A = this chain, B = another copy of it.
Amino acid sequence: MEFSSKLLEKAVNEISQLPGIGKRTALRLVLHLLKQPKEQTVFLSQALLKMREEIKFCSNCHNLSDVTICEICSNKNRDHKIICVVEDVRDVMAIENTGQYRGVYHVLGGKISPIDGVGPSQLNINSLVSKVKSGAVSEVVFALSSTMEGDTTNFYIYKQIQESNIITSTIARGISVGDELEYADEVTLGRSILHRIPFENEFKNN
């Protein structure tokens, strides 16, 4: 791509380093910014810069936060004895949106994945294990993706905390609400039959 302006080229190159954004999309975005009032670009740049420089990771659960201890960890109304183990910040947001969970979280920052070069030492696993071993925890809920990497990570952590005599649970796998049975894969359907729950429980939660 030949650019008529070095400034334009540089902006396009920087934007196209973001995942899923190619040169053409980047050019479209830059030309859009040029058509908008200058303030929009100023606000965008400042928000990104300020976010990158000032955002913190909660020292307790490793969730993104503006302060050293995040809102969830400093909330007295939540059950600090139950820890939900998640992969990243988006999962915390997703679970919070359900309004069904009143415990706290522990964000691993990824999954064990040898192919991507991610080992246990790069994840926030040690701090979780010491939290559990300190005796302040009664239950650990695994809420990782249902993939090979997720299962590996679950199992790795489980092996390290299994002697601590606490409850370990994992989120239920089964048919999504609204799904038709005939289109469900057999593993999911099999698990949903194996782990069937008393019919009355379904009412209680609605």
Contact = CB atoms under 8 A, between A and B. Distances in A.
A19 interface: yes
A66 interface: yes
21 contacts: A2-B93, A2-B96, A5-B55, A7-B47, A7-B50, A7-B51, A7-B54, A7-B66, A8-B55, A10-B50, A11-B47, A11-B48, A14-B47, A15-B44, A27-B90, A30-B48, A31-B88, A34-B52, A38-B53, A45-B45, A45-B46
Contacts of A90: 27, 31
A6 to B, nearest CB: 6
A17 interface: yes
Given A28-B19, A31-B89, A52-B34, A4 B64 contact: yes
A1 interface: yes
Contacts of A96: 2
A147 to B, nearest CB: 18
Contacts of A13: 47
B52 A93 contact: no
A5 B66 contact: yes
A136 interface: no
B41 A52 contact: yes
Interface residues of A, number: 59
A92 interface: yes
A115 interface: no
Contacts of A3: 93
Contacts of A19: 28-29, 32
A52 B38 contact: yes
A9 B42 CA distance: 17
A18 B32 contact: yes
Nearest to A92: B4
